[in-house]
Every structure is written in structure tokens, then in C-alpha cells.
Structure 1
Amino acid sequence: MTSHPLTPAAEAAHVIDAVLRDLREGDHRGVVVDSPPGAGKSTLVVRAAGELAASGEPLMIVAQTNEQVDDLIARLGARSPEVEVGRLSAVDYEPSERVRDHPRCRVGAKVAELNSPAVTIGTAAKWATVSEGSWPWAIVDEAYQMRSDALLRVAPRFVRALFVGDPGQLDPFSTVETDRWTGLSWDPMLSAVNVLLRHNPDLPVHRLPVSWRLPHTAAPVVAEAFYPFTGFRSGTGPGDRSLRFSGPSTSALDDVLDVAAETGWGLHELPARFTVRTDAEAASACATLAVRALARQGAASSESGTGPLTADRIAIGAAHRDQVAVIRSLLPPEAAGITVDTANRLQGREYDLTVVLHPLSGRQDATAFHLESGRLCVLTSRHRHACVVVARKGIAELLDAHPSTEPVHLNVPVKFPDGWEANQAILAYLHRAVSLSRQR
């Protein structure tokens, strides 16, 4: 086990101080911050925005979704309520409660309607429609979710920028063929950060070293599978968090929940079988696990306090929207508050307990979509206490029968880890954990 001379808080503070120092004193056009899941990306964005605004220089913030924009506005209102914020939006946008609660937030469809606030914030798609004006500073949040062509459309609006994002999660995607751009340094399907660094290799890159979301049982597993060259550690240690269920175990699913509560991970394996994508048995297992966790009145204890495991603190993740629809239809009314969604829509969110339908469960093939390492990374890194994976047996054999055969292109950096490696690493750990729990 690696020893750390600094506490997690001290190590994270050291890196954040270096980032802010580069913003204040450096002469680079940009600063990049890579972050593992739950490392405080939004906290850094809000702090940097407050400090830049306090210096008297207006800035623009570029987020990728309206949900991210509203969340950042709420955080800015909580940390720096004195800073004026302009919410750049569509004409028909209805301000959410979080936006309305901000003491000094103005909403407008055009920059001129915002009255020159210290901070102007909007989605990348909305910023792409702005054709006039410039800002000394920009902060690009979730920059690895942003396509490089989207960055090109907003780049004329700022002089210097802070790019913050998670390199291990889902890459930008497109529904059209993109082979014509493969190998080009400005390939629009590369993330904004990838293209930025290929054209500006001397930009400072910082890495947040601590995940405040993932418990100590999960951080090493996720780091080995999805961040093998950078790594990170959990902000908590053994005994800092616990999840307990009341009442005796009455089924195999209850046993899985108990193992997950004790070790941080659970694996519910169904018999090997090729199935349709909306596998009814697997969907039912996912729904039943979440409902049983709710019915057994779990209690979650952490550095943030102790509280009941309520429906809004449980999530079920799947790869496809039709799988999500089937699982959601199986939840009883009393469990309606449980989140059920795809990996794409779960990015950036966190829960106490997550249930994951493995993307390769019941499949006869291993396509690039299902092997995407970022998809599995998102699904297995949303939890603060425990994650339960539901899968049919035979995934390891499926992976062995379908080794990675993606073509290697000139001038295209090879991505590590690839989905094949990441899936093998997660499965190997889950099987070891299950084997050890049975020996106890």
C-alpha cells in the first residue's frame, strides 16, 4: 500500500493552491485540471470563479448541460452571494428554483440583457450563438465532455481559460460517421482538452489527487481500472463510513446487499444466457435490489453525519434508455424516488448506494459502445458507500472471445486503459470480493 506524507485534505489543498497560483501569476493561455470522480471539480470551479471575480476581471463559465449550469449558479450563490451572475439561456428557458434562489442572478437570452455581471454562465451550445464581446477569463467545466469543435466556436470569446474535467468518463459522441476526420489534430470528435493539449503541449496540467465521493473500498478499484497512470486516493479511510441494513437477510439478494454494505461492492450473477437487451430477469433483479435496500431501512454513516438510506440516495444505472424504461416500470410507487438512468445522464451525480446493470450482461458480442471504458467508469463511480453490479455469468468468456480489435490510426494517441482491460479489471475484483466474502 502506498504511504502518503500528507493528509487527503492537505494534498488536495496543495494542488488547488497550485492551480489558483497558475491562474493568478502564470502567463499561459490556459490551465488544465484533471479530476477523478468526486474530487471536487465543481468546488474548484466555484472557488476559482469567486477569486477571479473578486479581482475585478469579468469571466465567462462554459458548462455542457443546463443542469450543470443551474448547479453551478446555486453553488456560486452559496459561496459568493455578493457576486453578480448572469445566466445566459434560451428564450423559452424557465429559471429553476436554484437559479431563482440566487440573490444576484439575472437571466437573459442575450449578453446585452444581463447588465455586465461579474460572472456570465451558459451552456457551450448557447455560448456558440454569441457573436460579440470578449472576456479576460473563461472557465470550461466538464471539459472532457465538450467536443473540440464546440470549443472552437467559443474560443474567440475569451483570452485565458481554466479547463476542468474528468478524463476517465464518457468521451464526446456523435450519431454521424466521423472517419473523415480521424487522425487530424483538430478532429471534432476529440474532447476539447485533447485538442487543446495537442496544439498547446506546454500548458500546465494539474491533477486533483483525492476523491471525496468514493470510499476507501472503491477508490483503489476505480483508480486501477480507469486511471492506471495517474491514480488517486479516497478522502476517507476504514471506519469513516458505514452502511447498515436492519432486519435479517431473507434472500440471495439480501445477502448481496449485506456483502456490499460490508465491503463496498456486491455482485449478483444470473445464469449465463444470451438475452435481448431488455433482459426481464436482470431488470427485475436491479429493481428488486433497490427496493429491498429501501425496505430494509438502511442507515448510512459518514463524515457528513448519519441518516436513513432514502429513495433519493439510491440510483440504478444502465447503458441503454430502453433498459432504464423497463427497470423504472418495475419499481413500486413507494420507490418512485429512486433514480434510474443511463450512464450519460448519471455523470456528475452521486448517491449512497448504486445498482448497476453491467453493459455486457447477456450479450453475444462486445461492441465498441459496450466496451467504452468511460461508460463503466461512470456506472461504478457514483457511490459514497456501496455499488452492486448485476450481470449474467459469462462476461469474462465474452471478453476473451472478443479481444480489442479497434484499428490503430496514424496520429491518433492510443487510449489507455481500453474498455477490454477496464472490464477485465472490474470483473476480476468483483469475483475476488465475492469469493472472500463467502469464505468468511
Structure 2
Amino acid sequence: MPDPNAAAAARAAAEAVLAALRSADWGRALVVDSPPGAGKSTLVVSASRALVRDLGAGTVPVVVQTNNQADDLVHRLGAAGLSVGRLVSSSHEVPPAVLASGQVVTSGRWRDLAHCEVIVSTAKKWAWCNDRRAAPAPHFPLGIIDEAYQMRSDALYAVANLFDRALAVGDPGQLDPFTTVDDSRWAGQALGPLATAAGVLLQSHPHEPLRLPVSWRLPHSAAPVVSNAFYDRPFNAGTLPNERTLNLDRVDVGRPSDRVLDMAAASGWGYWELPSRYTGRIDAEIVDALVDLAIRLFQRNPQTACEEAPSGRRLTGDRVAVATAHRDQAEAVRVAMRDAATRDQPELAQVVVDTANRLQGREYDVMLAWHPLAGRRDATEFHLESGRLCVMISRHRHACVVVGRAGTAELLDAHPLAAPVYLDLPAKLPDGWEANQTVLAHLLLHRPA
């Protein structure tokens, strides 16, 4: 069962958000900060229902960042009994499961969905609707922005005049939005096009963000670690200690992968530290270590138990993920995992392998992570990005195992974060160098002897 104190705190925080929405004096923008797995989507659904049913706000537009996020949210809104419009581009096909409730209507034109209580689409599609050269733009009293910290401000500027007031919900600890173009011309501009949408709203309409205080994803062993390293306000796990367990068949073989998995099953964390060595970006030893961890994990009959399945259930391949910093690293692991699946267990073919950017917002039972600084000669701004490491170690419900190399502590000491500091900009929290130091100190405590 959930921690009753955490559940009460979560209810109080959600009620505070809804109370603020009902207040007439909350201003033009309201930002809600959320830790990983705190129920952002649940809050968006509750807020949508309150705005439509209680406050008579008319149709509520919801702006999301990807089509996958939109389809997931539409499914949740339809299940809550709201009539939902899914505004789509001509190239996107909504999954049949999303339409199964009968509460969802799809169209490429917003006017076809004007009768719906909620209309959901990506920021890019809403910006297209806002192009007055195509058709008269819609206008709404209030809009909701989901994943506002992962939305670039240029996307916000393209849709901001669609509604008079905005509720923005997001996770400040995750990866910032990025661009592949040279962004140096906008460096130091608080309201520049590459700032986060949430940051711009807080700059333009100063207020203290409301906060959700509980993570329902992270286990009791992980919430304090992630909270201390990446967030300026603490949050707690929604479950009690030892309520979630990962059980593995006992073995007598002293393989490093078995020792690390035993540590992770017992404490929720494991750190496999390979010998110190400078490597290229594709480190074959780390690839082999990650695959060996997955092989041994499934060979040992993994069983998980939690508040959703207290009697236990077998861990399946699709509930395990491997996180890397780079796409070529992910591809190397993916190929090796696929080859191993033909020889060992079929579950390996189901394991999700991807970069931190693409795993953002997703949830698994067990995470395996390639430490971003493993084998490097320097610690660049990219590899010290706090959001990247935060995503890697905050996707799991049961256990997280990180594979790295010795010498990372010395690397951090030799390469403090050297990013330029600009006047009149708020300090970026958390500091990536400090967050990496905090996480590494914790991982070293979970390094098998």
C-alpha cells in the first residue's frame, strides 16, 4: 500500500493546484514543478476536468511536446470521461487503442474539434493553427502546457497568443530542450528562443512555482538520492521501505555481473566499475558488461513485487531499459543485445535500448545505464549535463545498475564545469558538476567488493 503520509501530501499539493486555478487572482501563468513519476499526466487530467466541468472554461487546449505524449494523454483524458479532440498532422496515425473509448475525435483542423471539451496536440501543430495565413486562429481563455521544461521558448512564443492564461506543468530536473543549430548568438538571453517555456513564464510572470512533493515511480531507495542531486526542493517516494522488491535466484558463481545484480536487488542500486582506461566513444567492454548484466538478470528468474502486484510477477524484457548518452552507443548495445538474444534468452530482444533524450518521460522496472563520463579524458558540458544523468537514474521502479570506469572521480576533480556565466541570468540549478559528484559518491557505496 502507498505511504499514507506521502499520499496525503500528494493530495494536498494537487488540491492546491486546483484551488489556484479556481482563484481569480493567479495571474497570466501558473507553473507546477514535478519530480519524476509524480503524476503530471494525472494532474493535467484533473485540471482539465476542473476547468471544463467546474469553472466553465469552455474548450481547453493542451500543448504537448511529442505525438507519443499526446496520444498517451488523450487516452487518459478519454478514460476520465472527457470528450477529447486529437488535433493531428496528416502524417500521424493515432493508435487504435486511443480511439477505443469512443470519447476521442481526430482531425487535422481545429474547427472540427471545437465541440470537444479538451483538444490535445503538439506545439508544432498548434503553431500551424496559429498561422493566420492558413485560417483564422483559435483563441481560448486558458491553455495547459505539458512538459513545459522540455519545451523551447520559441515554441511557446508561437502558441502563446492562443490563450489568455496558461497552466504549465513540468519536471525541472530533466534534460533541457536543445537545437542542432549554433545557439551562441542567443547565449545569455533570459527570454531567448532556446530558454525553457517554464523558465520564460517564470521570468515574465514572476511567482513561486507550486510543487508536487511525491514520486510514485521511484522506490524508497532512490527518491532521496535523485532529490538531493537534482532538485532544489526535496521530494519523497510514494511507497514504504521494502514495499518493492526484486528477487533473483541465488547463484554461487562469482561473476562480476552477479555480484552487481545481487547488490542492486538488495539495495536498489548497483555500480559496476571497470578498470580505469581512456576509450573511444564506443567502449566494447562497457557494451559487453551491459549485455552480460541483462543476460544474467533473466537467467536468474527475476521476480518483482510491489503495491500493484504484491504477490509478485516475473520481470519481462520490455520492463528493462538501457540508457546511454549517445546514439551510436545505444546502437552498439542494441546490436549486441539482439545478437545475444538469439543465443540466450528471447527476453533480450525486448529490452529497450536508447539515449537519455529518448527515454525521458518513460518508466521501467529495472534500468541499466552507461555512465556518461566512463573512459573519457575530459568532462565536457554535454557530459556534465545534470538532466542527462537524472533521466538515466530516475526511470526505474525497482533497481538501477550503472556501468562506469574507475577514475571518474579524478576526472571530475580535474574538469570542473567551465560553461560561461552570464550576468542577469538566474543560476542554473542543479549544477551539473556538483550533481555528478553527488551521484558518483552514492554509486561508490554500491560497488561490490
2:34·2:169 contact (CA, 8 Å) conserved in 1?
Answer: yes
The equivalent of 1:237 in structure 2 is: 240
In structure 2, the residue corresponding to 1:197 is in which secondary structure? Answer: helix
User: 2:197 aligned with 1:184, yes or no?
Assistant: no
Q: Taking structure 2 as the reference length, what is the TM-score of the superposition?
A: 0.93
2:28·2:205 contact (CA, 8 Å) conserved in 1?
Answer: no
Matched to 1:141, the amino acid is: D
Q: Taking structure 1 as the reference length, what is the TM-score of the superposition?
A: 0.94
1:245·1:296 contact (CA, 8 Å) conserved in 2?
Answer: yes
2:59·2:114 contact (CA, 8 Å) conserved in 1?
Answer: no
Partners of 1:115 and 1:207 lie apart in 2 by: 32
Partners of 2:149 and 2:217 lie apart in 1 by: 19
Q: 1:249 to 1:224 in 2, by over 3 A?
A: farther
Partners of 2:434 and 2:384 lie apart in 1 by: 9
In structure 2, the residue corresponding to 1:99 is in which secondary structure? Answer: helix
Partners of 1:409 and 1:249 lie apart in 2 by: 56
1:71-97 superposed Cα distances (whole Å, 9 cap, x missing partner): 1011112222xx211111111221213
2:321·2:353 contact (CA, 8 Å) conserved in 1?
Answer: yes
2:75·2:99 contact (CA, 8 Å) conserved in 1?
Answer: no
Partners of 2:189 and 2:114 lie apart in 1 by: 41
User: 2:82 aligned with 1:78, yes or no?
Assistant: no
In the alignment, which of 354, 364, 374 is matched to residue 367 of structure 2?
354
Structure 2: 5+ residue runs without aligned partners?
A: 131-136
In structure 1, the residue corresponding to 2:128 is in which secondary structure? Answer: coil
Partners of 1:69 and 1:348 lie apart in 2 by: 12
User: 2:387 aligned with 1:374, yes or no?
Assistant: yes
User: 2:333 aligned with 1:321, yes or no?
Assistant: no
Identity between Structure 1 and Structure 2 (%): 51
More displaced 10-residue stretch of structure 1: 307-316 or 291-300: 291-300
2:381·2:418 contact (CA, 8 Å) conserved in 1?
Answer: no
The equivalent of 2:298 in structure 1 is: 294
Q: CA deviation at 1:240?
A: 0.9
Q: CA deviation at 1:367?
A: 0.8
Matched to 1:74, the amino acid is: H
The equivalent of 1:60 in structure 2 is: 61
Matched to 1:155, the amino acid is: A
1:271-304 superposed Cα distances (whole Å, 9 cap, x missing partner): 1111111111101111221222122111111111
The equivalent of 2:31 in structure 1 is: 32
The equivalent of 2:134 in structure 1 is: none
Q: CA deviation at 1:249?
A: 4.7
Q: 1:49 to 1:249 in 2, by over 3 A?
A: farther
In the alignment, which of 144, 167, 188 is matched to residue 139 of structure 1?
144
Q: Could you say what the CA RMSD is over the residues aligned between the two structures, in angstroms?
A: 1.5
The equivalent of 2:87 in structure 1 is: 88
1:118-175 superposed Cα distances (whole Å, 9 cap, x missing partner): 1110001111111211112211000000011111110111122210000001001111
5 Å-filtered alignment, 1:147-186, equals 147-186=152-191
1:290·1:316 contact (CA, 8 Å) conserved in 2?
Answer: no
Partners of 2:170 and 2:112 lie apart in 1 by: 30
1:295-340 superposed Cα distances (whole Å, 9 cap, x missing partner): 2111111111121111011010001110110101111141111111
